[in-house]
Amino acid sequence: MNDQSINKSSSNSIRNINMSEQQLKGLFLNILLIEDEKLHYISLEDKIKKHLELLNVPFKIDIAPSAELATKYLDQNKYELVFFDIDLDGEPVGLSLLKKYSKLITYPVVLTSHESEKFIKTANESGCRDYLLKPFREKNVPFLMNRFFTYLNEENDRKLILSCYLTQDKNTIKQLMQIPNLRVNLNPIYIIGPTGCGKQVVAEIVHEMLIGSSKGKFVELNCSSITETLAESTFFGHKKGSFTNASGDKKGLFEMANGGTLFLDEIGKMPLNLQDYLLKVIEQKKFRPVGSEVDIKTEFVLITAGCEELDQLIKEGKFRPDLKERLTGTVLRLPPLSERVDDIPFLLQQFIRSHPSGRLISISEQAMEFLKAYWWPGNVRELKLLVDRWQAQGINLLTIEEIKELKSKELSDQFSYINNDLFNDVYTHGLEEILEKINNRIINHVFLQNNMKARTTMNKLKISSRKFYKYLEKKDGIDESEDNTEE
């Protein structure tokens, strides 16, 4: 997975994205009305038809005036929307049908004249997602249908996002589920997270959901690769003869991204003079190629990414505060893999099953505990590369010994993590917080490596029992006896 963050700037036409067109495209609704009073189901059917025809959504409505017919329909068909009349033929059999079939229906709705808290609680416990009070008022059905479409879209968005960004971590999913809201309110986005956590994947999700790959280009650049001499030409483009070696006209990034998305990774490494140019283009929505006398209008979603907090760069005089304000309307924070420990077994399973070799690898319980305790400085990218190595070596059963052998160089080198990523984390979170995390990871790693023997771990690390238990995550199964391990 490539690593980048997103930030965007948008114009009026981008803001006015047709939500209904995106949400309802390709949708066909199967609807069932379970209602025994003819006037009620005719009235409800008519209101639903008017609303869906207005939205140009194809549909089919079945009507079941009895529990027997309702059961037949529900057994034979898949419905997105079902309206349950609770009292059928004078009996509360609608509630029984709701309990039985609610999990098979996308959006179960209860038709009722009851408004008591006790009834609402019972209906909720039976699987109801919404209510429609009888008699049906003209405005209530469109409101309910809009709630249904919102729910349907949220579920589709969630499936799309999680099919691209592999995670089961609740905090990460909460961050990612901010993306669909940008359809309505296109705030600029800055994605922050460590190297290897999948920032570019998130940027591509934003592009697909807001623009669509068929409607606009996804143009990307790593700002650390910009050279001062070619910077203006890279962004603005140039006209033939505007400088030495300018043998022809060239489009810049601002022009190529028009109507699409411009993704700038490592935005914190952009030179200050270019930050000034970028700010002007965001505000004026136009630019002038090098050697030209004519302005070109441009409009694109701007996504920026980085490993660091921009406020720290501002303090160091490396980033413009006014540009930072334009880029951080919405901030998505992607946590490191070490904070998504429960994702590790899930990601391992995904990477192993999707590997081209087709070889399945079993992982021992002790090896899995080791992998959960590991710091993962390279995050998801490092985990995927590790699976590739296992596959290349033909491993069928991964044990703790094989992991230690593969990672021996990294584990034996106490200074292997003193690199730019670590310094960025120190500058962002402070030395004390990072040292706390290092203490936590090393103590828990050595503890697992030594078969959960407390005394052996304390002796090897030369730490007190007070410090050992302060950072210990797994309290169960500790062997505190003096063992015969040579120290």
pLDDT of residue 447 exceeding 90, the answer is: no
Token digits of residue 290: 């090098």
- pLDDT bin (cut points 50, 70, 90) of residue 17 is very low
Please enumerate in sequence order all residues whose Cβ is within 8 A of that of 111, keeping only pairs 6 or more positions apart, or say none: 34, 35, 40, 44, 83, 84, 85, 86, 94, 132, 134
390, 395, 396, 402: CA torsion to nearest 10: -90
The DSSP 8-state label assigned to residue 90 in this structure reads T
Determine the CATH number of domain 186-333: 3.40.50.300
Alpha-carbon gap, residue 109 to 401, rounded angstroms: 56
* Mean pLDDT of the chain, nearest integer: 84
Alpha-carbon gap, residue 305 to 331, rounded angstroms: 10
Cβ-count burial of 486 within 10 angstroms (0-12 exposed, 13-18 middle, 19+ buried)?
Answer: exposed
Residue 57 Cα distances to 30, 48, 120, angstroms: 11, 11, 30
Q: What is the pLDDT of residues 29-51, one digit of tens each?
A: 999 999 999 999 999 999 999 99
> Do the beta carbons of residue 189 and residue 331 sit within 8 Å?
yes
- Rounded mean pLDDT, 432-439: 86
- pLDDT bin (cut points 50, 70, 90) of residue 473 is low
Q: What pLDDT score does 28 carry?
A: 92
pLDDT of residue 380 exceeding 50, the answer is: yes
Angle between helical axes of 67-76 and 93-101 (0-180°, round to 10) = 10
Token digits of residue 429: 């979170």
| Parts of the chain belonging to CATH 3.40.50.2300 | 19-151
Q: What pLDDT score does 169 carry?
A: 95
- pLDDT bin (cut points 50, 70, 90) of residue 187 is confident
Hey, is 227 helix, strand or coil? coil
Q: What pLDDT score does 308 carry?
A: 87
Helix (H) or strand (E) holding 107: strand 107-112
Q: What pLDDT score does 24 carry?
A: 62
Determine the CATH number of domain 19-151: 3.40.50.2300
| Parts of the chain belonging to CATH 3.40.50.300 | 186-333
pLDDT of residue 3 exceeding 60, the answer is: no
